[in-house]
Structure 1
Amino acid sequence: MRTTPASPRAWLRSHPLFGDSVLAVLLAAVSLAFAGLASGQDSASGRPPAYTFNVAAAVLVIGTCLLTALRRRWPFVLLCLAQLPQIALAVLRYEGGLVGLVTLILLYTVAAYRGLALSMVAAAVTLAGYAVSAVIAFDAGGWTQHTIVVVVTMTVWVGGRSVRLRRAYFAELVDRAERLERAREADTRAARAEERSRIARELHDVVAHHVSVMTVQAAAARKVLETRPEAAREALVAIEELGRTAMREMRGIVGVLRTDGESGELAPQPGMVDLPGLVDQMREAGLRAQLWIEGERPVIPPGIDLAAYRLVQEALTNSLRHAGPAARAWVTVRHEEGELLVHVEDDGHGGVETPQRGPGDRPGHGLVGIRERVALYGGVLRIGPRQGGGFEVRARFPLKD
């Protein structure tokens, strides 16, 4: 695989020893040249120079400058070592060239790459080394020069600390961005899981109800196919209509999964106003169901409206499947002040065995979906046997403003 060559700046960042070594060699060369010129500046007047330059001075200058090559690895230790040649040059009255600049570079490195306490100690060491050199060579300059040196030293220290703080700030920004990205991904996964759970509940409610009614209708049609063909034909027509209704509802639910921007065949979700039609379907399927609506119907939030409808649908479907062919069911919807009460019950007196579940069926999904729906809107749910026989499902939804 072909890789893009890195830029020279990026390569130098990844190889800091090379750049520091080049800097050390340049400092050594310039210091030697500068020290040689400075040591001979008074030769024309016949007076000896204030400082001399020889092989010993060259060794001290080169050794000090070469310390810069390892400044990123041991900056504080090298800064302390750099004070010794500087003091030795002052004692021997040798010209030091750019030895002072080497000290400033090491001080900047300590301030930029080490903690506050160590950087303050490094600044103190730098000023102490200069003070010792100035005391030894008292005639090297006046108070103006000393003040300038102190100001330059503190400026270099402040610059190094600013670079360190800026680097820490950007690192914190990068870390915060990564945490926010991870949190956003976690929220996205949670939202997707919740949406999948919601779609699964909707699909279960639609498929379980319609398929159960279609199964009962098909069984009835099979039994009367030879003796009562007209009744069988009506059952088949009902099965066809139920199949079309189930397909429409499933397309409406699965439509939310579309990602290509196309508009699906979306239909309004069912609600409490559709309960009479639901009860009629159950009657056609053979369940003797009755509906009572008490109280004045208020404005019901869409979520509670759909949840209450699905609750009645699931409860009647369970009555149709398990209560027996001679069972009766009652649906009571009571609109109270600030609450919606939904009560579905059956007598469960079938007189014959109810159909057995197959080995692949996993009971309980419908009831779990009912519990989740009621809990989602802060309702209270009771599911269990009914006094006098049968089964009941009772839910109370709070209607908030």
Structure 2
Amino acid sequence: MELGGWHETRVGQAVRHHPLLCDAALGVALAIFAVIALRVGPHGETPRSPGVADVFAIAVAFLAVSLRRVRTRPALIVAAIAWTAVVGVHHERQPVLTAALVVLLFTHASRTDRRTAWITAGCVAAALYLAGVAWGGGGWWAPENLGGVAWIGMATAIGDATRSRRAYVAEVEERARRAEQSRDEEARRRVVEERVRIARELHDVVAHHIAVIKVQATGAKHILAHRPERVGPALDHISRSSDAVLKEIASVVGLLRSSENLDGDPAPATEPTRGLARLSGLLDDLAAAGLRVDHHQIGESRELPALVDLAAFRIAQEALTNAQKYGDGTARLIVAYTGDGVTLDITNPVKRENAPAGSGYGILGMRERAASTGGLLTACPGAQGLFAVHAELPSAALEPAAS
């Protein structure tokens, strides 16, 4: 059974929740086996009752094993001294103390660094070996003396391997936790970016058409009493603008579904083509809403990267919508195609009584769109009561390199 699986069993959970009680049970079991071994007798020897040395060794082994987690090093020192004392006084080895030392050395090696574990094991092994040679009988190469050293080395090696594996598992779990945390943070960051993008898109889509609808509705209300024949075209324009904004909102919502379908294949794009190619339609809508735009184009129009094309159209749309809401009904738009990209200049007079009082998200959205293409945008009042928007959108950095 794997070590990780053992920790999930009832026994493993009991050991984790009640370590002192489990160690005490281990000490009792060790003492019982020692008493049984004395009563049965080793092979070729007569069974006997526990003597003073036996009782002393069993008691020390029980206490040392019971305290192996909370007082590992003191328990190890006491057990080693007891083993040496019994050998020195009674000239006999106590197997129960040897077993306790093996358990304690394993515990010590599994709870400390490798260098400390092996230095401690070497000191204990040297003390027991020399005591065994001096008082326990046998020579330097006696199996019982070399066997004790072997048991000490094996216990230390197993404890060190257990510590290494535990550290490895902890490191793997920590890496998994950090990776999961990084994935969560990345997911949250993408959600925030997506919300900002959708909010910007909805603002750009809705603000323009709602502004047109408001102007037409206000105009229809004023001309209803004096020129009722012009109410019908205004209402038709309101209907067309409402239909357009509904379609635009549907296309933005479609962006949420355009990443992947359930089979993992990219879903077909549902967003219509947006860009400067639709600029004439935008100007027609604004003209119908009462905004006269003096439009000029410098340079020959060409195909731009989709991100730049969309950003240019949305910037023009937002700037002209603001000109309609806060200006005197006129605006000037210059679209200049350069070797590096496209430049937009939108200016309009601003009446003092029509000073902007909006949320400011429109200008913020224009700046974010320009920044998303690597460009820049300025929007501020200029000379002679004009409000000027200037955007420079580079396209060279977004175009794929020639192969």
**Distance in 1 of aligned mates of 2:136 and 2:65:** 28
After TM superposition, the structure 1 = structure 2 runs for residues 1-400 of structure 1, keeping only pairs within 5 Å, are: 7-35=10-38, 41=44, 54-66=50-62, 67-91=64-88, 92-94=90-92, 96-137=94-135, 139-140=137-138, 142-143=140-141, 145=143, 146-257=145-256, 266-325=270-329, 328-348=330-350, 354=353, 362-399=358-395, 400=397
**Distance in 1 of aligned mates of 2:126 and 2:21:** 31
Alignment deviations for residues 309-342 of structure 1 (CA, whole Å, 9 cap, x no partner): 11100111111111124xx222211111122111
The alpha carbon displacement at 1:60 in A equals 1.9
The alpha carbon displacement at 1:69 in A equals 1.6
**CA separation of 1:291/1:258 partners in 2, compared to 1, >3 Å: closer, same or farther?**
same
**CA separation of 1:385/1:17 partners in 2, compared to 1, >3 Å: closer, same or farther?**
closer
Q: What are structure 2's unaligned runs of at least 5 residues?
A: 1-7
Q: Is the 8 A contact 1:31 1:99 kept in 2?
A: no
Structure 1 stretch displaced more, 115-124 or 162-171: 115-124
**Distance in 2 of aligned mates of 1:39 and 1:6:** 36
Q: Is the 8 A contact 1:331 1:343 kept in 2?
A: yes
Structure 1 stretch displaced more, 99-108 or 218-227: 218-227
Alignment deviations for residues 116-138 of structure 1 (CA, whole Å, 9 cap, x no partner): 34423421332133123213325
The alpha carbon displacement at 1:366 in A equals 0.7
Task: Say which SS state the counterpart of residue 70 (structure 2) adopts.
Answer: coil
The alpha carbon displacement at 1:149 in A equals 3.2
Alignment deviations for residues 200-235 of structure 1 (CA, whole Å, 9 cap, x no partner): 111111221111111111122222223322321101
The alpha carbon displacement at 1:18 in A equals 2.8
**CA separation of 1:278/1:264 partners in 2, compared to 1, >3 Å: closer, same or farther?**
same
Q: Is the 8 A contact 1:335 1:341 kept in 2?
A: yes
What is the identity, as a one-letter code, of the residue corresponding to 1:104? V
**Distance in 1 of aligned mates of 2:42 and 2:369:** 93
Task: Say which SS state the counterpart of residue 295 (structure 2) adopts.
Answer: strand
**CA separation of 1:93/1:61 partners in 2, compared to 1, >3 Å: closer, same or farther?**
same
What is the identity, as a one-letter code, of the residue corresponding to 2:210? V
TM-score by length of 2: 0.86
Q: Is the 8 A contact 1:107 1:123 kept in 2?
A: yes
**Distance in 1 of aligned mates of 2:45 and 2:99:** 24
Matched pairs, number: 382
Task: Say which SS state the counterpart of residue 148 (structure 2) adopts.
Answer: helix
Alignment deviations for residues 327-376 of structure 1 (CA, whole Å, 9 cap, x no partner): x222211111122111112244x6xx75577xxx6431111111111122
**CA separation of 1:364/1:294 partners in 2, compared to 1, >3 Å: closer, same or farther?**
same
Task: Say which SS state the counterpart of residue 31 (structure 1) adopts.
Answer: helix
What is the identity, as a one-letter code, of the residue corresponding to 1:196? R
Measured on the aligned residues, the alpha-carbon RMSD in Å equals 2.9
**Distance in 1 of aligned mates of 2:96 and 2:385:** 103
Q: Is the 8 A contact 1:279 1:290 kept in 2?
A: no
